[in-house]
Structure 1
Amino acid sequence: MAPSLPLLAAATLLTTTGPAVLTAPPSAPARPAVATGTAEHQAAPGAAERRRVLRYWTPRRMAAALPAAPLAASLPALRAPAGKSTAGAVWTGRGAAGSVGRTTGRVFLTMAGGDFVCSASTVRSASRDLVVTAGHCLKDGTGEWADNWIFVPGYRDGGGPYGSFTARRMFVPRQWSQRGDDSHDVGMVALNPRRGRHVADVTGVQEIAFNVRRGGAAHIFGFPADPPYDGRRLVYCAGRPRPDPHGQTHDQGLPCDMTAGASGGPWLAGFDARTGRGTLTSVSSFKYTDDETVMYGPYLGAAAKDLYARAQRA
């Protein structure tokens, strides 16, 4: 994981400085596999482990945590065409319109000896304990799983009114766990209840859908923490996603200047600003090294649907 890089594409990071260089013509991405699988990790299921994780996150550690970015891989890089980027705006919805401000939260985690931040969202599930985030916010591709993982819903200016929820079990697609495949950079976490209450009963949920028509309008939310943002407020962009023009992934991209820390934030289709509700159809995943104007998110297809089927009852 490269903490200083803003949401960079795992598939295209050959260098962290200067423009990417075209070293070979890209091959078309493989058709998504029909056979899918899930990698799982038990996080902090016991009371003692939960207490340890909560004690770990002192205000000082939270303030010092760095925004997470996907790990690099040695695939050929492409120069992405520069485009206009939609500036993120702070979400100010109150009352009913504030629903997305409750269901979206900031994530704190430890990986490879460092402390990091991401974003995540609650979704409807059988267990009422499920949140969705980016795969790289749970597992460093083929590397290690995250530790000290907590979700702080409704985060704002250094804290959250609903407390912190610890992770019980983590789930990522095998395509992410075994290959670090950006097309499958999604993860799900079954949370421990807090003081006997499920997160869905505390904050409400967003809906979630799979295999939806591509190109539909979306609002994307998150807590970007690299400049010009500081991770203290919920930010959003809105627009109509388009396919990855490089053919490197099956992802869709949306012009947005959000930075690292927004990783894992929800992409909500059919978003109603009056209610603050929509349907989660993707999460923020990466940006190409030499075009930080477009945010990319994975298409939630068969693998993500299988992931959800397993995670929602954990």
Structure 2
Amino acid sequence: MTDQQRPPRRPRLRGRSVALIAAVLALAGGTTTLAAQATAYNVHPAAQAPAQAAAHAAAPAAAPKAAPTAPATRSATPSAAPTPAPTPAVTPVAAAAPSSTPTPSPSATPSATPTATPSPTPAAQPSVKAVSLGTTGTAPADADSAKVGALFSGSVAVGNHFCTASVVDSPGRDLLLTAGHCLSSPGSAVFAPGYRNGSAPYGTWKVTQVFATTGWSQNGDTDQDFAFLTVAPLNGKQIEDVVGANQLGLDASFTAQVRLYGYPASSDLPLLCTNATTKFSSYQREIACPAYSGGTSGGPFVSTDTGQVIGIIGGYQQGGDTDDISYSAYFDQTIANLYATAISHTG
């Protein structure tokens, strides 16, 4: 495998990188490129908000996240991200209104109490398992984790994955979400949802298109470190028909509780941690979950309240310079515009 087939490693890259292709993707079936749509994407204020600037300035200069020991084919050449360019402001999209609460049905009139001695009532079973917040473990193999998978360069093999992605709902039913720094061109990239220990239980899906903002692809704006990918059908089916999808969530509270998934490069099992996020800066959220090392970039923040994906590991320090703290760019009108562009070019 050549370096041109995999994204380049950066010391601060949460994706276990192997040769990022610098050019913006030429979309399949046409010559339209995202560079021609700069106006639609650059929607952040011209300068960082004071809170963001202060937070970034105050952040300790942690050592870059070390990548695990790798075979000679894995590139380890660092590549500095370009300085973000100023962009115009926009009014954030309003969050979707919550569904109305159904009116409960009236209780039926109880029958007369029997004279016989009643049987003991079994103890009530909890509807959900208790969750230890901020604790990381292996994600169970269930319907939720099936929507999350690992990105590979070429063949699906043990130790060959470099980033994480997840399926998001779309009209074409073929859309993934990952970090912008994970992939800039399809190349030989494939996606294996629900991947575990060398097995791809839901098949291997070829990446066909990559959609990133010009703010990220041209200026390295960490507030726009996200990308959508399309994948080709497999056996006549779209990926969403096989594993389902999470809806994209916009303008979610900075203090939302989420399930955080990710595939570390040092393991072939997905991690899961549940915790509340906090506001790091105006356009960055933060979460404390241990052991999210290189390879977890692109892992989704799935809201425990709505089931929507409201962030991905990326953004500030391309996801974080330490294994125990992760970041995400805030999902607002910027990613909504990119989503609209992606679904308009699918199919």
Do they superpose with TM above 0.5?
yes
**8 A contact 2:8–2:79 mirrored in 1:** yes
Distance 1:170 1:68 in 2: 23
| Closer/same/farther in 2, CA of residues 4 and 184 from structure 1, 3 Å limit | closer
CA drift of 1:255 comes to 0.6
Q: 1:284 aligns with which of 303, 307, 313?
A: 313
The more displaced of 179-188 and 209-218 is: 209-218
After TM superposition, give the deviation of residue 288 of structure 1 in Å: 4.1
Give, as a single letter, the amino acid of the residue that structure 1 aligns with 2:149: G
> For the structure 1 residues 239 and 218, does the alpha-carbon distance in structure 2 shift closer, same or farther, using more than 3 Å as the test?
same
1:109 equivalent in alignment to 2:153: yes
Measure, in 1, the Cα distance between the counterparts of 2:320 and 2:219: 19
- Alignment correspondent of 1:135: 180
Q: Secondary structure at the match of 2:181?
A: helix
> Could you tell me which residue of structure 1 aligns to residue 38 of structure 2?
none
User: Which residue among 207, 215, 237 is the counterpart of 2:273?
Assistant: 237
- What is the deviation of 1:212? 2.1
Q: Is the 8 A contact 1:218 1:268 kept in 2?
A: yes
Which of 41, 66, 75 is residue 26 of structure 2 equivalent to? 41
The CA distance in 2 between the partners of 1:163 and 1:64, in whole Å, is 28
Q: TM-score, normalised by structure 1?
A: 0.66
- Looking at structure 1, the residues matched to 10 and 217 of structure 2 have their Cα atoms a distance apart, in angstroms, of 22
Q: Say which is worse superposed, 208-217 or 255-264, in terms of deviation.
A: 208-217
Q: Say whether the 8 Å CA contact 2:10–2:79 is kept in structure 1.
A: no
Q: In the alignment, is the contact (CA less than 8 A) between 2:28 and 2:208 conserved in 1? A: yes
Q: Which runs of 5+ in 2 are unaligned?
A: 1-6, 16-23, 31-70, 84-132, 155-159
CA drift of 1:169 comes to 1.4
Amino acid of the residue matched to residue 270 of structure 2?
L
Output the CA distance in 1 between the equivalents of 2:180 and 2:144: 21
Whether contact under 8 Å (2:287, 2:326) holds in the other structure is: yes
Q: 2:293 aligns with which of 255, 259, 277?
A: 259
Matches within 5 A, 1:80-159: 86-93=134-141, 98-109=142-153, 117-139=162-184, 145-159=185-199
Structure 1 position 157, deviation (Å): 0.4
Establish whether residue 250 from structure 1 lines up as the match of residue 294 from structure 2.
Answer: no
Residues 11-30 of structure 1 mapped to structure 2, 5 A cutoff: none
Query: 3, 9, 15: which is aligned to 2:9?
Result: 3
Task: Indicate the residue corresponding to 2:335 in structure 1.
Answer: 304
RMSD: 3.2
Rounded Cα–Cα distance in structure 1 between residues aligned with 2:76 and 2:251: 27
Q: What's 1:172 paired with? A: 212
Name the % identity.
26
Q: Which residue of 2 aligns with 1:210?
A: 250
Name 2:81's counterpart in structure 1: 73
Residues 177 and 227 in structure 2, CA contact (< 8 A), matched pair in contact too:
yes
Instruction: Pick closer, same or farther for the CA change 1:119–1:281 going to 2, 3 Å.
Output: same
Gaps of 5+ in 1: 10-38, 46-62, 76-84, 140-144, 273-277
- 1:233, 1:181 → 2: CA distance? 31
Amino acid corresponding to residue 339 of structure 2 in structure 1: Y
Do the aligned residues in 2 keep the contact of 1:222 with 1:235 (CA within 8 Å)? Answer: yes
Deviations 1:7-29 (A, max 9, x none): 469xxxxxxxxxxxxxxxxxxxx
CA distance in structure 2 between the partners assigned to 1:172 and 1:4 by the alignment: 19
SS of match in other structure, 1:41: coil
Give the whole-Å Cα distance in 2 for the aligned partners of 1:67 and 1:210.
35
8 Å Cα contact 2:186-2:208 kept in structure 1: no
Structure-2 separation of matches of 1:106 and 1:303:
25
Structure 1 counterpart of 2:167, one-letter code: T
Larger of the two Rg values belongs to structure:
2
1:306 deviates by: 0.7
In the alignment of these two chains, the number of paired residues is 234
Please say if residues 123 and 207 of structure 1, whose CA atoms lie closer than 8 Å, have aligned partners that are also in contact.
yes
Q: Is the 8 A contact 1:7 1:260 kept in 2?
A: yes
Is the alpha carbon distance of 1:304 and 1:66 closer, same or farther for their aligned partners in structure 2, counting shifts above 3 Å?
A: farther
- Note if contact 2:283-2:329 (Cα within 8 Å) is conserved in structure 1: yes
**Paired AA for residue 163 in structure 2:** C
**Contact residue 8 and residue 69 of structure 1 kept, 8 A:** no
In the alignment, the residues of structure 2 paired with residue 236 and residue 108 of structure 1 have an alpha-carbon distance, to the nearest angstrom, of 20
Q: Any idea what SS the aligned residue of 2:211 has?
A: strand
Query: In 2, are the aligned partners of 1:106 and 1:151 still within 8 Å (CA)?
Result: yes
2: CA distance between counterparts of 1:87 and 1:66?
30
Name the CA shift for 1:116/1:43 in 2 (closer, same or farther; >3 Å).
Answer: farther
